[in-house]
Amino acid sequence: KCIFFKSFQLSGLIQVIKDLANAFIPSGKLVELVDKGLAPLVKTLPSPFSDEIQGIADVSGTPLGEIMLFNIFYEVFTVCTSLVAEDKTGKLLHARNLDFGLFLGWDTHDHSWKVTEKLRPLVVNLDFQKNNKTVFKSTGFAGYAGTLTGMKPGIFSLTMNERFSIDGGYIGIFEWILGLRDGMWMSFLTRSVLENATSYDEAKNQLAKTKMLAPAYFILGGVKSGEGCVITRSRESCLDIWELNLKEGRWYVLETNYDHWKEPLFLDNRRTPAMKCMNKTTQMNISLATIYDVLSTKPVLNKLTTYTTLMDVVEGKLEAYLRECPDPCMPW
Ligand SMILES: *[C@@H]1O[C@H](CO)[C@@H](O)[C@H](O)[C@H]1NC(C)=O
Ligand SMILES: *[C@@H]1O[C@H](CO)[C@@H](O)[C@H](O)[C@H]1NC(C)=O
Ligand SMILES: *[C@@H]1O[C@H](CO)[C@@H](O)[C@H](O)[C@H]1NC(C)=O
Ligand SMILES: *[C@@H]1O[C@H](CO)[C@@H](O)[C@H](O)[C@H]1NC(C)=O
């Protein structure tokens, strides 16, 4: 029943994406390309993603190419805010807003993004188990095989933010479609690390070194004082690791979609308001509740915000909240 319900909503979302594509290329050629062109590529994905995406298509009754498109989409249109903070007892807290659907059809009547609206009902919290024991927990979307937000209880927490950059952009994704397949999808790497890394250091190492299809930011938190960092990646290499440093007063690291050593784009500055809010809260009073307040401050909360996830890795607690941003509210 649940699968039927979610797949019904998934078809609704895919229809919106197809309508948008048809509006750009009215002949319907793009949609034809999705149905015929993307489906054969599923087999080229690494295990376990290939089988899973095939399985999602079979169970939901949605054409394989469309499920593949849905799985590629997140690699392209996600903007976010992620942070790791250490409270005064040395406990690490990790949280993120996932903002999705930029440029994907603004609805002037409802003041909302069409895709973002369709996506909210697909948000699910998942518990990945092996031999009946939790390996990791995540916030995901029904029908989506990669991971953008997750936690390995008692070990580490991890979120991925998109990095828009000219030294990489989406060339890697096109190369992959054309047959050059030595890089890894960013959300697949996130999931692999959550599934298979067994410590904060091992996770950090894999996230810093694995070759990828596009640049990204990985925000990683551990369980010991000082274990928290933002890893800035190009496709090929690690450009920077920005770590917590309590001696220097850096009790949190916060990442949106810009390199931390550069100014954010003035049209999209969610970083300054979020940091101002964190500074005002102070380390003395930081908790999941006060972090939720920070992530609810406009424009950190905006019309693209789909969910807020709060993670306490020591307690093994992961909570997600569906978000709406009442008017007046920034489109992004
Ligand atoms: C997992 O739990 C279910 C339900 O409690 C049980 O039926 C099953 O045998 C368990 N499987 C393993 C591998 O322990
Ligand atoms: C984790 O490692 C196992 C064993 O090497 C592998 O079969 C599996 O595909 C890996 N998981 C992911 C998500 O890459
Ligand atoms: C927040 O505090 C840090 C550390 O004191 C400081 O470097 C940063 O500029 C402050 N940011 C804002 C936006 O107030
Ligand atoms: C600490 O956070 C709580 C919850 O948001 C708030 O009610 C309280 O005023 C804050 N205390 C200080 C000292 O900022």
pLDDT computed for residue 2 by the predictor = 43
Q: Is the dihedral of CA 215, 216, 220, 226 positive or negative?
A: positive
Residue 167 CA to ligand 3 centre (angstroms): 29
pTM of the model: 0.90
Quick one: 162 and 35 in the same domain? no
Q: What is the pLDDT of residues 239-279, one digit of tens each?
A: 999 999 999 999 999 999 899 999 887 777 889 999 999 99
pLDDT computed for residue 33 by the predictor = 73
Choice between 22 and 92, residue whose per-residue pLDDT is larger: 92
With respect to residue 332, please indicate whether it lies within any of the assigned structural domains.
no
Percent of the chain whose pLDDT exceeds 70: 86
Question: Which ligand 1 atom lies nearest to the CA of residue 131?
Answer: 13
- CATH number of the domain encompassing residue 212: 3.60.60.10
The torsion defined by the Cα of 137, 59, 102 and 268, in degrees rounded to 10, comes to: 10
Instruction: Give the binding-site residues of ligand 3, using a 6 Å CB cut-off.
Output: 249, 272, 275-276, 279
pLDDT computed for residue 21 by the predictor = 66
With respect to residue 328, please indicate whether it lies within any of the assigned structural domains.
no
Residue 278 CA to ligand 4 centre (angstroms): 12
Going by alpha carbons, the residue nearest to atom 12 of ligand 4 is 285
Reduce the DSSP state of residue 131 to 3 states and report it: coil
Q: What is the pLDDT of residues 121-140, one digit of tens each?
A: 889 999 999 999 999 999 99
Reduce the DSSP state of residue 25 to 3 states and report it: coil
Determine which of 41-50, 108-117, 184-193 has the lowest per-residue pLDDT on average. Answer: 108-117
Average pLDDT over residues 305-311: 95
Give the neighbor-by-neighbor strand order of the sheet with 238-243. Answer: 123-130, 133-141, 149-152, 156-162, 216-221, 228-233, 238-243
Strand partners, 95: 83, 310
Q: What is the pLDDT of residues 33-79, one digit of tens each?
A: 777 888 888 999 999 999 999 999 998 888 898 888 888 877 766 77
Tell me the C-alpha distance between 76 and 331, whole Å.
18
Strand partners, 85: 93, 252
Q: Which ligand is nearest to the CA of 285?
A: 4
Provide the number of structural domains found in the chain. Answer: 2
Going by alpha carbons, the residue nearest to atom 10 of ligand 2 is 192
pLDDT at 115 over 80: no
> Of 58, 74, 90, which residue constitutes the final position of a domain?
74
Element (H, E) at 306: strand 305-312
Tell me the C-alpha distance between 38 and 41, whole Å.
5
Choice between 178 and 215, residue whose per-residue pLDDT is larger: 215
Host domain of residue 97: 79-322
- Which residues 6+ apart lie within 8 Å of 222 measured at CB? 92, 155, 156, 200, 228, 313
User: What is the average pLDDT value for the chain, to the nearest integer?
Assistant: 87
pLDDT at 331 over 80: no
Query: Is 80 known to be catalytic?
Result: yes
Burial class (CB in 10 A: 0-12, 13-18, 19+), 143: buried
Question: Which ligand 1 atom lies nearest to the CA of residue 132?
Answer: 1
- Which residues 6+ apart lie within 8 Å of 31 measured at CB? 18, 21, 22
Going by alpha carbons, the residue nearest to atom 14 of ligand 2 is 192
Quick one: 184 and 256 in the same domain? yes
